[in-house]
Structure 1
Amino acid sequence: MKKTILLVSALISTFTFANVDTVKRNLEKNYPDIKIDNLQPTEMKGIYSGFMSGQLVYVNDDAQHLLAGTMVRLKDKENLSKNLLIKQNSIDWNALNLNDAVKIVKGSGTRKIVVFSDPNCPYCKNLEEELKKLKDVTIYTFIVPFKPQSIIPSKQVFCEKNPAQAWTDLISKGIQPSSKATCENPIDRNLALARTIGITGTPSIIFSNGFKVSGAYPAEKIEEIFKEFGL
C-alpha cells in the first residue's frame, strides 16, 4: 500500500511540474531538428502552443504529438487559436508615426491600413495593384528602401510637390521622381521603425487593430480580414 501511495505521489509530481521548460527539453531530446518558438501553456491541460515556421501549432508534454488547427473553448465558443495569432502578430498602432508615411485616401477613408513597401520589390508592386481595388480606405505607406537601389528614389519622393502621386508613379509605373533636389525625408526613421517592430521584408500590412500580415495579399483577402475583425 505504501509503495502504491509513493508511486501515485511521484506521478502527480511529474504532471504537476510539467511546464514549458519540460516541453523544450523533451523537444530538444526527441526531435532536435524541430524548432518551436514562443511556447506557452494553453487552457487545455498538458497542451502547449507555439509557432513553427510562422504557423500556430500545439504540442503535448512529452513532445511526441504535434497538432495544427483551431482550439475552441466550448463554454463560450471562443476561438483561442485566433486570439493567439492576433497576439503573436500584432503591432502597437499608436507607435507608428503616420506623419512619416505617404497617405492615400480612397472614398470615405474610414478603414485604415499601414503598408511597408520598397519601390523595387516586385511583390510590393503586386500588392499596390491589389490596394487599388479597395474602397473607403486610408492607406499609409511607410517607404522602406531595403534594396540599395531604392534609397535615392525613395528619398526623392518626399521632394516632390505631391509625394502621394510621386509614390504611386514610382511603385506602379516605375516613373522616377523628377526632383533632383535634396530635402527633409523620413526614410532613415522608417528603416529604424521597421527594425524596431520586427519588419525585415516587404510588403507588410498592418491593420488598424495592430494585426500584421506579410506578403502581397489579394484585395479579397484584405477585405476578409477587415470583416473578420469588424474594422
Structure 2
Amino acid sequence: MLKQLITLGLSLAFCSSSFANVESVKAKLVQQYPQVKIENLQATEMQGLYSGTLDHQIVYINEDAQHLFIGSMIRLKDQRNLTKDLAMKKDIVDFESLPFTDAIKTVRGNGKRQLAVFSDPNCPYCKVLEGNLASLNNVTIYTFMYPIKTQSVQSSKQVWCSANKDYAWKNLIQKGIQPTASADCATPIERNLQLGKKLGLQGTPAIIFSNGYKALGAYPAVEIEKIWQQAGL
C-alpha cells in the first residue's frame, strides 16, 4: 500500500481550513480513501498535521485527509527528530512483563543494567552480537532462545535441559559446541517462539532494553552503551 501511494506521487500540503481533530480526520480518511489504513493516528506539534503508521512506517497526513507526507519531522529549536521519537515509542515493549523464567540469565558486575536478547544459535549475526555482549559489564542479560531456524530447535532444547544452561549456551553460540544433554525436559522454546511473534520479531538477533526500546541487529557494545547513556539507564 505504501509503495503504491509513493508511486502516485502524493505530497505534503497545508490548507487553511479550520483545525480538525483526530476523529474527524479518521472519518474523512474512511470516507474518501477507505483502502488507506493508517493506524495510531494522533495530532502532532504542527497544527493541521497528524501522524500515524502505514505498513509499519511513520507517515503524516493533513487535516482534510488529502495529502500524505513520508519523511522526518525535525523540531528546529532543539534539532530533535520527532519522527524518530514516534518510531521508538511504536516499538516499545513492556519489559517487566517479559517471562524471564523462560530465559537464560547472565549477570556481570552489579547487574544493574538489563537487556533481553532473542537469539537463534545458527544465526551468524546472533553470534556477532553474543561477542559484543561479552564486553559489557554491570549488566544482566536475559537470553530468550528463539530458534526460528528449524535446525536450531533441537540444540536449543538441549541447552535448556543442560545442568548449566549459561555455559551450554555460550559453548553453542560462541564455539559451535553442541550440547550433550538430552532434550527430554520441559522447555520454554515453543513459548519463546510465540512470544517473539507477539512482539513482532521477524528475525534475529533482537535486543529489548529495560525502558522497552526494541533494537534489531548485532549492535556493537559501544552503541548499546550509547543507548543506555541517552536513555539514562
Class of the TM-score when normalised by the shorter of the 2 chains: 0.7 to 0.9
Structure 2 CA distance for aligned equivalents of residues 84 and 135 of structure 1: 30
The DSSP-based 3-state class of the residue aligned with 1:99 is: helix
Structure 1 CA distance for aligned equivalents of residues 186 and 200 of structure 2: 25
Residues 20, 48 of structure 1: 8 Å contact kept = no
Structure 1 residue ranges without an equivalent (≥5): 1-10
The DSSP-based 3-state class of the residue aligned with 2:178 is: coil
2:134 is aligned to: 132
**How many angstroms does 1:66 deviate by?**
2.2
Correspondence for 1:58 among 45, 60, 82: 60
Residues 58, 66 of structure 1: 8 Å contact kept = yes
2:10 is aligned to: none
2:143 is aligned to: 141
Return the letter of the residue paired with 1:22: K
The DSSP-based 3-state class of the residue aligned with 1:217 is: coil
Structure 1 CA distance for aligned equivalents of residues 109 and 192 of structure 2: 27
The DSSP-based 3-state class of the residue aligned with 1:161 is: coil
**How many angstroms does 1:201 deviate by?**
1.9
Residues 59, 68 of structure 2: 8 Å contact kept = no
Return the letter of the residue paired with 1:69: S
Structure 1 CA distance for aligned equivalents of residues 173 and 31 of structure 2: 48
The DSSP-based 3-state class of the residue aligned with 1:19 is: helix
**How many angstroms does 1:25 deviate by?**
6.6
Structure 1 CA distance for aligned equivalents of residues 134 and 66 of structure 2: 46
**How many angstroms does 1:181 deviate by?**
4.9
Structure-to-structure mapping, 1:1-16, within 5 angstroms:
12=17, 16=20
Structure 1 CA distance for aligned equivalents of residues 70 and 134 of structure 2: 38
Q: Deviations over 1:103-123 (max 9, x none)?
A: 111222211000011111122
Normalised TM-score (structure 2): 0.78
Structure 2 residue ranges without an equivalent (≥5): 1-15
Structure 1 CA distance for aligned equivalents of residues 17 and 135 of structure 2: 58
Give percent identity, aligned residues only. Answer: 47
Q: Deviations over 1:24-60 (max 9, x none)?
A: 777779xx7xx86544321311212234665544343
Asked if 1:96 corresponds to 2:102, the answer is: no
Structure 1 CA distance for aligned equivalents of residues 130 and 180 of structure 2: 21
**How many angstroms does 1:68 deviate by?**
2.2
In our comparison, the structure showing a higher alpha carbon Rg is 1
Residues 118, 144 of structure 1: 8 Å contact kept = yes
Aligned length: 215
Structure-to-structure mapping, 1:1-231, within 5 angstroms:
12=17, 16=20, 19-22=25-28, 38-51=40-53, 54-61=56-63, 62-64=65-67, 66-72=69-75, 80-231=82-233
Q: Deviations over 1:55-101 (max 9, x none)?
A: 54434345545252244395x99864454233201111121011110
**How many angstroms does 1:133 deviate by?**
2.0
Return the letter of the residue paired with 1:68: G
Normalised TM-score (structure 1): 0.79
Residues 103, 140 of structure 1: 8 Å contact kept = yes
Residues 120, 146 of structure 2: 8 Å contact kept = yes
Structure 2 CA distance for aligned equivalents of residues 121 and 27 of structure 1: 42
Q: CA RMSD in A?
A: 2.9
Q: Deviations over 1:2-21 (max 9, x none)?
A: xxxxxxxxx746x5475144
